[in-house]
Amino acid sequence: MLQGVLVLDADWTPLRVVPWERAVTLLLDEKVDLVRAVAGRFVRSVGSAVPHPAVVALRRYQGFRSRVRFNRQTVLARDGYTCAYCGRRPVRASGRPDLSELTLDHLVPRARSKDGKVALPDGRRVGVSSWENVVTACVECNGRKADRTPVEARMPIRSWPRAPSGLDLVRMAVVQVEIPFEWRDYLPVGSPWREYWTVDLE
């Protein structure tokens, strides 16, 4: 039985993942429509049976409202548990990310901060521990880079970090597991979501 239900906005844009119990409540309160159910499964109560929801859509448009809290867990999730330098993505035998092999790295080292801010190469001043200055790094790369910038260490990053977008919030909404079959038609084509999602922010 699916533990999470994909919630689409009224325009069918992926919005969030909620527990199946919450999805059933939304259905009974007529706040969402059932888009796709788990075949052959029902949520039963005394005198009634509701198809087990897999995908539901809001009846009224909501749009993205959430902001992601900046912390180790969310930075790792934003970066797909992948080292920003070498591209390595360590996993355990279970297929889940091996968090013991991953660290956070400040592109501009903390020692160079002034009043809690650092200057990025493009001239922007940002918080030393912010979305724009912190990336995921494997233990080996973090040790090699040490207290230098990527340029000084001759370790270019694969892409410049940024604050997560609304769609990133959805991608980060569930534990790293294979995407349920029932969701696949409702996720962006060509997206890494077709294979895996990341961590629960709820």
Q: CA dist 123 to 27, 109, 126, 149, Å?
A: 49, 15, 10, 14
**Single pTM value for the model:** 0.65
**May I ask the CATH architecture of the domain 72-153?**
Orthogonal Bundle (1.10)
pLDDT number for residue 65: 64
Question: Among candidates 88, 51, 99, 110, which has minimal Cα distance to 198?
Answer: 99
d(CA 140, CA 146): 10
Q: What average pLDDT does this structure show over 178-196?
A: 65
Taking residues 109-114, report their average pLDDT: 94
**Please, where in the chain does CATH 1.10.30 lie?**
72-153
